[in-house]
Amino acid sequence: ETGVTQSPTHLIKTRGQQVTLRCSSQSGHNTVSWYQQALGQGPQFIFQYYREEENGRGNFPPRFSGLQFPNYSSELNVNALELDDSALYLCASSLKSGGQETQYFGPGTRLLVL
Partner 1 sequence: QKEVEQDPGPLSVPEGAIVSLNCTYSNSAFQYFMWYRQYSRKGPELLMYTYSSGNKEDGRFTAQVDKSSKYISLFIRDSQPSDSATYLCAMSAPSGGSYIPTFGRGTSLIVHP
Which residue in the set 41, 51, 80, 112 belongs to the binding site for partner 1 (CB under 8 A)? 41
109 in Cβ contact with 6 (< 8 Å): yes
Nearest to 48 by CA among 28, 31, 62: 31
Among 74, 76, 108, 111, binds partner 1 (CB under 8 A): 108
Chain mean position to CA 103: 12
The whole-angstrom separation of Cα 92 and Cα 112 is 21
Size of the site for partner 1 (CB under 8 A): 28
Residue 17 makes CB contacts below 8 A (sequence gap 6+) with: 81, 113
- Encoded one letter per residue, x for contact with partner 1 by CB under 8 A and - for no contact, window 59-88 reads ------------------------------
Q: Which of 85, 103, 111, 113 binds partner 1 (CB under 8 A)?
A: 103
Question: How do strand 10-13 and strand 109-113 relate by DSSP bridges?
Answer: parallel
Interatomic CA distance for residues 9 and 11, integer angstroms? 7
Interaction between residue 105 and partner 1 (CB under 8 A): yes
Contact pick of 55, 65, 73, 86 for partner 1 (by CB under 8 A)? 55
List residues near partner 1 by CB under 8 A: 2, 4, 33, 40-45, 48, 50, 55-56, 58, 90, 92, 96, 98-108
